[in-house]
Chains A and B, each alone.
Chain A
Amino acid sequence: MDWLTEFPALSYDALREINKAVDTTFRDFSREYGSSIEQFFDPLLQFLVWLEQLLITTPWPIIIGLVALVSWFASRNYKIVLGATISLLLIGIFGMWENTMSTLSIITVCTLLSILLGLPIGILMAHSNRAQSFITPILDVMQTMPSFVYLIPVVMLLGIGKVPGVIAVVIYAIPPMIRLTNLGIRHVDKAVLEAAEAFGSTYWQKLRQVQLPLALPSIFAGINQTIMMSLSMVVIASMIGVKGLGQPVLKAITNQYFAMGLFNGLAIVALAIIFDRVSQSYGKRLQGQHNA
């Protein structure tokens, strides 16, 4: 009765063979295609480097002014503008300006990529139940799989650096964008859609003039979530060489520098709060327009 107390697992040798087979296949694949995949992502890398340099070399008062301006136009709330300005000033005073700009650049790129990819996927999911039942489990895997696990193949393919960092962040941060786009479109009032159709809308007219505008508050909630999740990934991304606020945190963990970890951690929190308040109040203003 051994097999009842001890699970009849595959033998050690068989397991080793399986692991080896998977590993060699992937290693061969990455040796074969690694460089061409790297080439494919080259424009992305160029853009990342350019944006990071731009943010770092631009004089800090201009950056703070721009952030204040964007906050104002998005939220029309002076408290949010004031909070954002003070947070950035404190970050600068405590010597974290350059790292914060690096993080800002990578978050910006990750968010843009997530919107660019997530929006059409969300629309596709809303359009077809079959697509939804196919994509939902993939999103579940992307959100629950420990990020370290998918860092391994990404690093094997592309090595260490910004691009694999961005890919890892986007994999983790894109699901809410897709889910909330899908949800927002599906929740559009059926009667309104029927009216659009009865008056002769084409599929694209319906999507552009009715479904997307009415789903916008939900889509904005998705963008907000995506930004938050990207920020929470910066420390993990720094393990594969992404510069920014994550690197000092990582250094603080390995060397037990409590204060260093705390300051950089707080800087990440400050960025997150700025992004969150600004994007949320913009989303609310959009919603308010037709709820008034």
Chain B
Amino acid sequence: MSNITDTPPKLVVEGLYKIFGKHPQQALQWVKEGMNKQELLDQKHHVLGLQDINLSIQPRSIEVIMGLSGSGKSTLIRHFNRLLEPTAGKILLDGEDILTFNQRQLREMRLHKIAMVFQKFALMPHLTIAENVQYGLKLRGSSLKEADLQERCTYWLERVGLKGMEQHYPRQLSGGMQQRVGLARALATDADILLMDEAFSALDPLIRTDMQDMLLSLQQELNKTIIFITHDLDEALRIGDSIAILRDGALIQQGNAQDILLNPVDAYVRRFVADVNRTRVLKVKTIMQGMNALPTDIDDSRPMTVKGSRSVEYLLNKTILQNPSAIWVVNNKGERIGYIDRAILANTIGRDEEADQDWEGLWAASA
């Protein structure tokens, strides 16, 4: 992660608010004076969609925005290509505030810079698969030749595994195949930013995993900036370089998978991560004891080494098989960078009882 934090962010959101209702500006004042979402709805009949979102998204990374339904994640993603207009705030794309764009600039941005993949696929039912894939390109007008269109379409359909389906209609395809077309349509525009709104949520679990794999392998080569919305934490941990968690329209935590699992910021997030198989997500180096704080009584008779970039799950396997007396963590060059003992390991895999208590507390509070 550290190698990308130095580059300027691709997309920056500053103080973004979205309020639905008749008088959003007036409602904004009430919110800024401290009214919460529920009060605003009950007393003033306005819906607080997003409140004071500040977010910066690195180029060439996958940013996952996660939250339960109603948390505002779909509302947020629709601001990035201005399908929705914010009530207040700024959205900077490559340093330019897209909210100042006129209709022509906005259209240019949608044609060339940002493409989108939708939860319900949203393919044009009256167009063939080929025409659907070419849809974004054809909107640009005469700048592309027919042969070029054909070539790009064939290329992208092949990349998403739908070679030879050009002349079919969307309804003849399964859900998973339709979403591949959705992805090909977005990729064919060559936009640097890909917005994916619960793109895999409507698919069944096995197909969803396939699609995640495909997205990850495409991303390794394409290096796009992908903003991915989901309500599924496993999906978020699996594909996200960075994860932002939304609740009631507010951003409550942003960090990588390790941060979220190890330092959940509040009870809501802790409950979210409680059921995750943490040993698969956590890396050995995040749970190790540093070399400067080694215990004095290390029994080095049967040592074992493991790379810091391995998962804890891998370490567990190896530990059970080899039964070492000490576990040393090494970097890629084989130098020792840390130490792990059984107590640390046991702590890491133990179920987080605090989370269960938090959850009961949340239930009691909402009852």
Check if B136 is an interface residue, CB within 8 A of chain A.
yes
Q: B297 to nearest A CB, angstroms? A: 62
Count contacts on A: residues with CB < 8 A to the other chain. 21
Check if B233 is an interface residue, CB within 8 A of chain A.
no
CA A200 – CA B185 in complex, angstroms? 13
Which residues, 186 to 205 on A, are CB-close (under 8 Å) to B?
189, 191-192, 194-202, 205
Partner of B171, one of A189, A195, A198, A292: A292
- Chain B hits for A191, CB < 8 A: 118, 120-122
Partner of A198, one of B81, B108, B169: B81
- Chain B hits for A151, CB < 8 A: none
Check if B116 is an interface residue, CB within 8 A of chain A.
yes
Which residues, 157 to 185 on A, are CB-close (under 8 Å) to B?
none
Q: What residue of chain B has the Cβ atom nearest to residue A199's Cβ?
A: B136
Check if B2 is an interface residue, CB within 8 A of chain A.
no
Check if B125 is an interface residue, CB within 8 A of chain A.
yes
Count contacts on B: residues with CB < 8 A to the other chain. 28
Q: What residue of chain A has the Cβ atom nearest to residue B115's Cβ?
A: A199
Check if A291 is an interface residue, CB within 8 A of chain B.
yes
Partner of A290, one of B81, B109, B126, B185: B126
Interface pair A213/B126, CB less than 8 Å apart: yes
Check if B110 is an interface residue, CB within 8 A of chain A.
yes
- Chain B hits for A144, CB < 8 A: none
Interface pair B126/A198, CB less than 8 Å apart: no
Check if A55 is an interface residue, CB within 8 A of chain B.
no
Interface pair A289/B116, CB less than 8 Å apart: no
Check if A104 is an interface residue, CB within 8 A of chain B.
no
Interface pair B118/A199, CB less than 8 Å apart: no
Q: B258 to nearest A CB, angstroms? A: 33
- Chain A hits for B195, CB < 8 A: 198
Check if B111 is an interface residue, CB within 8 A of chain A.
yes
Interface pair B83/A197, CB less than 8 Å apart: yes
- A-facing mask of B115-143, CB < 8 A → 1, else 0? 11010111111100000000110011000
CA A200 – CA B125 in complex, angstroms? 18
CA A127 – CA B186 in complex, angstroms? 28
CA A210 – CA B122 in complex, angstroms? 12
CA A220 – CA B105 in complex, angstroms? 37
Interface pair A194/B122, CB less than 8 Å apart: yes
CA A194 – CA B124 in complex, angstroms? 11
CA A199 – CA B106 in complex, angstroms? 11
CA A291 – CA B189 in complex, angstroms? 27
Partner of B125, one of A192, A194, A196, A209: A192
Q: Could you tell me which B residues sit within 8 Å of A by CB distance?
A: 81, 83, 107-111, 114-116, 118, 120-126, 135-136, 139-140, 169, 171-172, 185, 189, 195
Listed from nearest, the 7 A-B pairs whose CB atoms lie closest are A200-B110, A195-B122, A200-B111, A191-B122, A199-B136, A198-B116, A290-B126
